[in-house]
Amino acid sequence: MSKVVRIATPLSDEDVCGLRAGDKVLINGYIYTGRDAAHKRLVELLHKKEPLPFDIKGQVIYYVGPAPAKPGQVMNSAGPTTSLRMDPYSPLLIEAGLKGMIGKGERTKPVVDAMIKYKAVYFAATGGAAVLIAKSIVESELVAYPELGAEAIYRLKVVDFPAIVAQDCYGGNAYQEGTRKYKR
């Protein structure tokens, strides 16, 4: 049975281990944005043993290219992008301490294996609800790579950011479990 859980970043191993595929979560605190161009740069820094532009330990990265804010807004819309594009980079970031990722679509076996080994979790945000999701973002600050435009890394302060645990650190997969459940 799924439950609703309020969590706060940064995440600990204990936080991650308390979540199961299918749980509904409300995320509070700070999360970072990042898509494939930023992920590529982060992994290049790790390979060179250079510091990242933010401390990745315990953090959550949201795979989003936020739309520029209109006057009076923190963010116009902030819908998830397909996570598969980050999969070549995610295992190394998880090994470096990343605890959570937010996107849409299933993850590949190397990402799932890293999530199990290093205790990380993958959250799904609802595609098509970009404007609604943006309402949970109360602050936005550019952190790195402004030349990437919408793919730059931002630090977002979120209040009750809605997501679902899509894949947990035990190998649980809400996508597969949901398909089995409703296949009958």
Q: Which residues are catalytic?
A: 39
Positions of E strands within 66-152? 100-103, 121-124, 137-144
Yes or no: say if 9 and 101 are a contact pair by the CB < 8 Å rule: no
Residue 147: helix, strand or coil by DSSP? helix
Report the distance separating Cα 140 and Cα 98, nearest Å.
20
The letter for the amino acid at 158 is V
Q: Please check whether residue 10 is in contact with residue 57, taking contact to mean a CB–CB distance below 8 angstroms.
A: yes
23 CA to centre of own chain: 15
Element (H, E) at 170: none
